[in-house]
Amino acid sequence: MRSALMLAVLASVLVLGLAACSPLAVLNGAVPDDASRVVSGVAYGDSPRQQLDIYAPPGADRPPVVVFFYGGSWRSGSRADYKFVGDALASRGIMAVIADYRLYPDVSYPDFVDDSARAVAWTLHHIARYGGDPAEVFVAGHSAGGYNAAMVALDARWLARFDASPAMLRGWIGMAGPYNFLPIVARSLKPVFHFPGTPADSQPIAHVSAAAPPALLMVGMADTTVDPALNTESLAAALQAAHAPVSVVRYDRLGHALLAGALARPLRWRAPVLDDLAAFVWQTARAGQPPAQAAAGHSQPPAQAAAGHSQPPAQAAAAQSQP
């Protein structure tokens, strides 16, 4: 997904007349230096890929916390590329934790899920010393990272390995994640998930229950990378059938990569992704509302905002491609 994001951002960079710049550097470079206080390279495990960065809103008093996992088909990605996500959340009064995790071919399923759970558990157990509220922790992710977030939030086995549970999460956010992708079609994913021996319980949709934390599912209806009907819509329907709290925000003309790219300042005009995500966090958090300085940029709540930029669920599609 990282290459797809870079291509999509590059297209927008050309429109903005910044073609000499690296696409993700443009997103990261467009953030004011004082947008957040950053603690870099915090280890949550022994591997060099088991590190995270913490973005704290200046002056915030025990803000809610979002642990974010980026995409990349479980083959690529670096937390350093997603500074724009940390700063975007901090600009809304939310502490962000951007975590690396081990990737294929060094590891395969389920090791990257295990890493994600370890990072979330570390956050639950230690974020208070960095000023965050451990009772207001959310897990989020885009594309492959959305899968990781969903597995941590829905399958209790992973957090249980680290003395934690999904009940300790305030909620979770899935952005164009693959939640229901068996049988695997994409050739590049088959070795990542041990195809044809991929276990059925590797799918987030297999772990839906009424006990699931509140969910916000965000999807671009122009996504041709991770099929919205097969993944987001089917998971939303399963959560609704289980009477688990779920909101869905659909962006009519947004593709896969720009769903994440729209969090960055230069691309926020494309869709109110940041406003909708922040509104969900603040409405779900016990505090109930953001600090005044962060609230200034807020839009309407996801449930209301969705009516302005959504469309009815598409019919289930047979097509499936790479997250």
Dump pLDDT digits (tens) for 4-16.
Answer: 555 555 454 434 4
Mean pLDDT across the chain: 86
> Is residue 76 assigned to a domain?
yes
- Give the tens place of pLDDT for each residue, 203-261: 999 999 999 999 999 999 999 999 999 999 999 999 999 999 999 999 999 999 999 99
Distance between CA 204 and CA 71 in Å, rounded? 16
| Domain count of the fold of the chain | 1
How far is residue 17's CA from residue 162's CA, in Å, rounded to a whole number? 48
CA-CA-CA-CA torsion sign (296, 302, 305, 308): positive
pLDDT at 27: 66
Is the peptide bond between 110 and the residue preceding it cis, with omega within 30 degrees of 0?
yes
Q: Please state, for a pLDDT cut of 70, what percent of the chain lies above it.
A: 78
Does residue 16 belong to any structural domain of this protein?
no
In a domain, 82, yes or no: yes
Q: Is residue 9 part of a domain?
A: no
* In the block, residue with structure tokens 């309407």: 300
Q: What are phi and psi of 78, to 5 degrees?
A: -150, 140
pLDDT of residue 290: 73
184 in a structural domain: yes
Distance, CA of 182 to CA of 201 (rounded, Å): 10
Domain that holds residue 87: 42-287
The domain that contains 204 carries what CATH number?
3.40.50.1820
Residue 46 is assigned to a structural domain of this protein: yes
161 assigned to some structural domain = yes
Q: Is residue 22 part of a domain?
A: no
